[in-house]
Structure 1
């Protein structure tokens, strides 16, 4: 990766309103809510996996508030225009059964990984 790309990325992260102490709020390409899992459609440069994300669930809100944060940046340079899907267990997140929740992430195809 070129140093100019690293400097630009670092500058964007410092000034971005979506940076939290535990990660960066991910712009999702889509989401599938299945009976036992949540599948997130995310951008990838080739080095993204489920371990690249953490999911914060605020159960004090009604309905629950869910935010997906990227905790592991993807600096790879593969061309994957359609992104990838990563899956998370609903029970492990406390979102099993008939729980209603709001996803706080934006949906779009504005990722810098595309």
Structure 2
């Protein structure tokens, strides 16, 4: 019985078939941006610590060595006549490789957050070590 096809004769056909069946995925995203919510709602991840003083809010967040306030967003909401709550969320991922088991402490003063002096402020995020 004669051979109709040899293995070498099928190689170009198999190559063309693989190229035709393979897909291409293109991701159009800004490097380092974790998410963008269309409705303005954010996911408030757990913090390593939080402290509200008379004029500042300090949070402790996980970090791989490069996290600064530019990496963290703050969502401030008025909850009463002189009461405000702040939710913190990560806007950019930290791709550095430092070992910081305690994370980093970041501080905002009330003016940076648009909160009036002397207001009662709470943090919406949960705190976990």
| Alignment check: 8 A CA contact 2:55 2:118 kept | no
Gaps of at least 5 residues in structure 1 are 1-12, 14-18, 110-114
Distance 1:102 1:20 in 2: 24
Which stretches of structure 1, 4 residues or longer, exceed 4 Å deviation after superposition? Answer: none
Tell me, yes or no, if the aligned pair for 2:52 and 2:121 is still in contact at 8 Å: no
Mark the runs of 5 or more structure 2 residues left unpaired by the alignment: 1-33
Q: How large is the Cα RMSD of the aligned pairs?
A: 2.2
Contact 1:24–1:71 at 8 Å: present in 2 too? no
Q: Who is 2:71 aligned against?
A: 52
- What do residues 75-100 of structure 1 show as CA deviations (whole Å, max 9, x unaligned)? 22211011111111212213342212
Contact 1:36 1:96 survives alignment (8 Å): no
**In the comparison of the two structures, how many residue pairs are matched?**
91
TM-score w.r.t. length of structure 1 = 0.67
Deviates more, 1:30-39 or 1:49-58: 30-39
Select the structure of larger CA radius of gyration: 2
> 2:121 matched to 1:92?
no
Q: Return the offset for 1:24.
A: 4.3
